[in-house]
């Protein structure tokens, strides 16, 4: 919502009315204040689990939720990133934001100071260590060790409570970082023994640090909430937030958002992540520019094409399987001929053939399937074939799932290995677990490459964004494929 110029002589009266309205809202109802200002000001963290900017604009789980709230209220969204937890709560205390949506844990101390929404996500606090070193197995193993936590975090509060409860030799350092990446880096480079982080953050970022592992969960499962300024009347705004969260949960949209932003982090082995990390440094530099060029020709993210070609051949242009598929994108001979690929061992021809083949598959899939699910379906069909994918979609529909959602269909693909299911399908038996692993690996590699590039950039200033659906943001870079 933008306020347009008003013709005199009404302009002065209207301006005075607006000033009075805004002035009256400063200490009044926060929902009225948001509507009067025409924007929802949200303070958050710049991190892979909350909010960040990629080449196509803003994205992240918290950003997606905040976008939906702004849309629901009929106002624009203004994101104001901060780079420490202390800065986020300082902004709230000064009423410089309408709410904080930043992956923040509900603690007794915060509950006493700040109004908050109902919980929208649960996670476990975890102790992280380096594989190959002595694994801590209980609280006593944390004493006399160098532990790092985010400054002002719930983990610092937990360690203080443990120290007061009798663990006298428990010590830790509070590090001013926007998220746990810096903590994981310190443990990975042996600048600290252990780190405390949230399970959702570690899952998303473990691909960057494949040698790090979870030692144990520290305490009970915790809840994430949105916090609001301590001054003013926040009751109606909290009601709107809670109503939104409830609708998203009841409709299944919240589950879809979690799958979209965190689903890539599960199912990838630690050894697979470690091997990928090595190959990013040793093999990818040779092919990076070629992959970028081909991806640009086919209007797709180079990181996605890089992830697919890694999953296919580990960036080996001479790769050959026992079944006769060859090259960087492991094309069969008939497929290569159909795509006009004369030499499957030529990396450029192979990459172009694979990108063209994936694009062709996407065109053949039902128009009801939208990105990013459309891309995951296409990759599954690339691996197992269109017929078997369609069989899994039919089974999904029979069981009450959504055949147009990858999160539902991937649960049914492995059923194609069981006779009681595949004997009633058109195309019969398939090794259905393989395309699930195939897509999951690619999603993981894709997100690791993306975040690795984004994390090297300097933080960006606050941005104003239009109130469009977050799914459109995420899918825009995939829909052209």
Angle at CA 309, nearest 5°, toward 305 and 310? 115
- The number of beta carbons lying within 10 Å of the beta carbon of residue 472 is 12
User: Of 145, 132, 245, which Cα lies nearest the Cα of 193?
Assistant: 145
CB-CB contact of 459 with 83 (8 Å) = yes
What is the greatest pairwise CA distance in the chain? 83
User: Of 208, 154, 156, 158, which Cα lies nearest the Cα of 181?
Assistant: 208
312 is catalytic: yes
With a CB cutoff of 8 Å and minimum separation 6, the contacts of 30 are 98, 228, 229, 232, 233, 234, 236, 237
Catalytic residue among 37, 259, 312, 338: 312
- Separation between Cα atoms, residue 67 and residue 343, nearest integer Å: 47
With a CB cutoff of 8 Å and minimum separation 6, the contacts of 28 are 232, 233
CA distances from 279 to 210, 315, 330, 351, 457 (A): 13, 8, 18, 18, 22
Active site residues: 312
């Amino acid at each position: 919502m933008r306020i347009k110029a008003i013709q005199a002589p009404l302009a002065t009266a209207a301006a005075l009315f607006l000033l009075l309205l805004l002035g009256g809202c400063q200490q009044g109802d926060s929902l009225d204040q948001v509507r009067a200002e025409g924007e929802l000001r949200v303070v958050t963290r710049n991190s892979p689990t909350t909010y960040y900017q990629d080449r196509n604009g803003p994205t992240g789980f918290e950003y997606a939720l905040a976008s939906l709230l702004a849309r629901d209220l009929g106002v624009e969204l203004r994101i104001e990133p901060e780079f420490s937890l202390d800065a986020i709560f300082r902004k709230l205390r000064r009423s410089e934001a309408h709410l904080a949506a930043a992956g923040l844990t509900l603690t007794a101390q915060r509950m006493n100071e700040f109004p908050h929404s109902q919980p929208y996500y649960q996670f476990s606090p975890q102790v992280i260590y380096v594989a190959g070193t002595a694994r801590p197995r209980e609280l006593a193993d944390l004493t006399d060790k160098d532990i790092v936590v985010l400054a002002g975090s719930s983990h610092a509060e937990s360690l203080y409570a443990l120290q007061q409860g009798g663990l006298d030799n428990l010590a830790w350092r509070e590090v001013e970082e926007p998220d746990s990446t810096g903590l994981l880096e310190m443990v990975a480079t042996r600048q600290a023994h252990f780190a405390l982080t949230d399970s959702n953050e570690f899952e998303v970022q473990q691909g960057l640090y494949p040698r790090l592992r979870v030692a144990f969960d520290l305490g009970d499962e915790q809840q994430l909430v949105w916090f609001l300024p301590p001054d003013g009347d926040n009751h109606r705004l909290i009601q709107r937030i809670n109503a939104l969260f409830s609708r998203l949960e009841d409709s299944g949209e919240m589950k879809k958002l979690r799958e979209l932003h965190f689903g890539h982090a599960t199912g990838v082995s630690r050894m697979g992540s470690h091997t990928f990390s090595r190959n990013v440094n040793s093999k990818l530099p040779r092919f990076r520019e070629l992959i970028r060029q081909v991806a640009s020709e086919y209007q797709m993210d180079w990181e996605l094409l890089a992830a697919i070609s890694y999953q296919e051949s580990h960036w080996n242009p001479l790769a050959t399987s026992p079944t006769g598929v060859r090259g960087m994108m492991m094309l069969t001979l008939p497929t290569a001929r159909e795509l006009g690929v004369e030499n499957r061992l030529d990396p450029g021809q192979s990459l172009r053939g694979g990108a063209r083949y994936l694009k062709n598959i996407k065109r053949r899939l039902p128009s009801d399937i939208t990105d990013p699910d459309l891309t995951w379906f296409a990759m599954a069909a690339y691996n197992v074939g269109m017929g078997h994918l369609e069989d899994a979609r039919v089974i999904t529909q029979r069981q009450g799932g959504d055949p147009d959602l990858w999160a539902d269909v991937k649960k049914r693909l492995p059923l194609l290995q069981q006779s009681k299911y595949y004997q009633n399908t058109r195309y019969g038996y398939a090794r259905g677990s393989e395309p699930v692993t195939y897509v999951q690996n690619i999603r993981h590699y894709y997100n690791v490459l993306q975040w690795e590039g984004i994390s090297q950039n300097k933080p960006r200033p606050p941005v104003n964004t239009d109130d469009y659906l977050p799914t459109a943001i995420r899918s825009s870079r995939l829909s052209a494929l």
